[in-house]
């Protein structure tokens, strides 16, 4: 499963918790997602430790600032030799272009990480767009427009709900990646995400990568659960 397109969200607070979890996967090379909580708590050494175990890393920090600041930050993140990073698409085309430029400048051996843009967070729905953010446009249209902006800026893809993945691929091509969180097995609780699908549905909806967290990390048997998610999504 070295070519896994399942990003396992390491929603832990400490390095010890991460290592205890990853030690269960001694025969697997995972693609893991390191978010703000873990990165801010354990820092660069956590990234180095995971890479030493042979796993790929999606560093999920969702940069959103003026273009020059994002460019400088991405130049530093590229030096960590992670495999994927992201920004908020709402930061503008100029900011996304700057992110890619920064990654190229900091790339190790000329190979930069994939860079994707977050469209609408899976915790958002139409009511929040209308009443809190004053974006009076259908959610699917907002996602597609921001995805179009991301492609124009030279990004490799977007973070979106699986429900929007097929629309994006139909409009922008299958090589433009869709990384989709909000994935649960049918038996799971929905928790705090409004737009949720199963691995089978995500496959049918053409998701390029899926992000799976608590379904795997809080399972009684994480390895077996991971393998079941893998089977459902990648069909192997």
Domain count for the chain, please give it: 1
Predicted pLDDT at 211: 96
The predicted model gives 13-34 an average pLDDT of 95
Q: Is residue 170 part of a domain?
A: yes
Predicted pLDDT at 196: 65
Q: Which residues are catalytic?
A: 62
Provide the pLDDT confidence category of residue 120 given band limits of 50, 70 and 90: confident
- β-bridge partners, 84: 58, 114
Q: Is residue 77 part of a domain?
A: yes
Nearest of 99, 34, 36 to residue 65 by alpha carbon: 99
Predicted pLDDT at 236: 60
Reported as a single tens digit per residue, the pLDDT across 65-100 is 999 999 999 999 999 999 999 999 999 999 999 999
* Percent of the chain scoring above 90 in pLDDT: 83
pLDDT at 191 over 60: no
Provide the pLDDT confidence category of residue 144 given band limits of 50, 70 and 90: very high
Instruction: Specify the pairing of strand 6-9 against strand 56-63.
Output: unpaired
Q: Is residue 87 part of a domain?
A: yes
Range of the domain at 202: 6-234
Per-residue tokens: 170: 């139909």
Predicted pLDDT at 169: 97
Rounded to whole angstroms, the Cα distance separating 28 from 31 reads: 10
Q: Is residue 13 part of a domain?
A: yes
CATH of the domain at 33: 3.20.20.70
Provide the pLDDT confidence category of residue 2 given band limits of 50, 70 and 90: low
Q: Is residue 1 part of a domain?
A: no
Please give the model's pTM, rounded to 2 decimal places: 0.93
Q: Is residue 180 part of a domain?
A: yes
Q: Is residue 90 part of a domain?
A: yes
Per-residue tokens: 192: 């705090």
């Amino acid at each position: 499963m070295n070519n896994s397109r399942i990003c396992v969200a390491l929603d832990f607070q400490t390095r010890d918790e991460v290592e205890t979890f990853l030690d269960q996967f001694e025969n697997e090379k995972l693609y893991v997602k390191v978010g703000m909580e873990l990165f801010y708590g354990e820092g660069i050494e956590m990234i180095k430790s995971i890479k030493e175990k042979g796993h790929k890393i999606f560093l999920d920090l969702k940069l959103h600032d003026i273009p020059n600041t994002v460019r400088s930050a991405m130049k530093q993140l590229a030096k960590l030799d992670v495999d994927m990073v992201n920004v908020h698409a709402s930061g503008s085309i100029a900011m996304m272009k700057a992110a890619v430029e920064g990654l190229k400048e900091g790339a190790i051996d000329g190979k930069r990480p994939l860079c994707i843009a977050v469209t609408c967070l899976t915790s958002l729905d139409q009511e929040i767009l209308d009443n809190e953010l004053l974006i009076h446009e259908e959610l699917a249209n907002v996602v597609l427009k921001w995805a179009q902006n991301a492609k124009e800026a030279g990004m490799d893809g977007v973070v979106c709900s699986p429900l929007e993945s097929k629309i994006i691929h139909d409009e922008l091509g299958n090589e433009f990646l869709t990384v989709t969180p909000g994935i649960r097995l049918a038996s799971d609780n929905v928790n705090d995400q409004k737009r949720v699908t199963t691995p089978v549905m995500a496959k049918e909806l053409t998701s390029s990568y899926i992000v799976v967290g608590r379904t795997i990390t809080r399972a009684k048997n994480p390895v077996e659960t991971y393998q079941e998610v893998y089977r459902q999504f990648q069909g192997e």
